[in-house]
Amino acid sequence: MSRMPERTLILLRHAKSDWSGGEADVDRPLNKRGLREAPIAGAWVAGNIGRVDAAVVSPANRTRSTWKLVSAELDGPPPARFDDVAYGASPAELLDILRGLPDDARTVIVVGHNPGIEGLASLLTNGSVSMATSALAVIGFDAPWSSLDASPAVMRAFGRPPAPLPVD
């Protein structure tokens, strides 16, 4: 039996949002810091990960804006799937979304919210992961997406750009 190539899951918490307006939570925009940090996260992904095959993005304004700024830094950004379930999703709901990804997607980014994003990172790596805004968790595993939670996963890099630290 041949070994399945490694898959990479990039979890990205949205960039810092603006709480000064009276918008509904789903409509909150990025603030000035978020507008600065999101492209830095995108440049880190471009320089350290390279090709991304698929993106799953919460439909909230702040996640859509984060993805727009991140994807602008990528060479040939992938199509984004704006998934209503990803807004306010639990780790289990995020796993359900990921289990439905096609097997030819080797590297996938999810742009979402806490507590779901850090809960998923913690669940997959059997650790305690705290994700600030614009933080990335890069997780590697050898399994199809359909059995993501049954496969041992390894945290490859973690932190907030410009320098998420590689994890060995």
pLDDT in tens, the chain (168 residues): 344 558 999 999 999 999 998 899 999 999 999 999 999 999 999 999 989 999 999 999 999 999 999 999 999 999 899 999 999 999 999 999 999 999 899 999 999 999 999 999 999 999 999 999 999 999 999 989 998 877 779 999 999 987 666 655
Token pair for 42 = 């995108």
d(CA 96, CA 149): 10
DSSP at 83: -
Domain ranges of the chain: 7-166
Calpha distance 102→81 (Å, rounded): 13
Which CATH superfamily is 7-166 part of? Answer: Phosphoglycerate mutase-like (3.40.50.1240)
Q: How far apart are CA 82 and CA 52, in angstroms?
A: 16
Among 12, 5, 4, which Cα is nearest to 129's? 12
Q: Find all residues with CB under 8 Å of 120, minimum gap 6, and list them.
A: 11, 91, 94, 95, 110
Cα-Cα-Cα-Cα torsion 29, 34, 35, 40, nearest 10 degrees, comes to: -140
d(CA 153, CA 126): 8
32 CB-near residues (< 8 Å, 6+ apart): none
| DSSP 8-state assignment for residue 6 | P
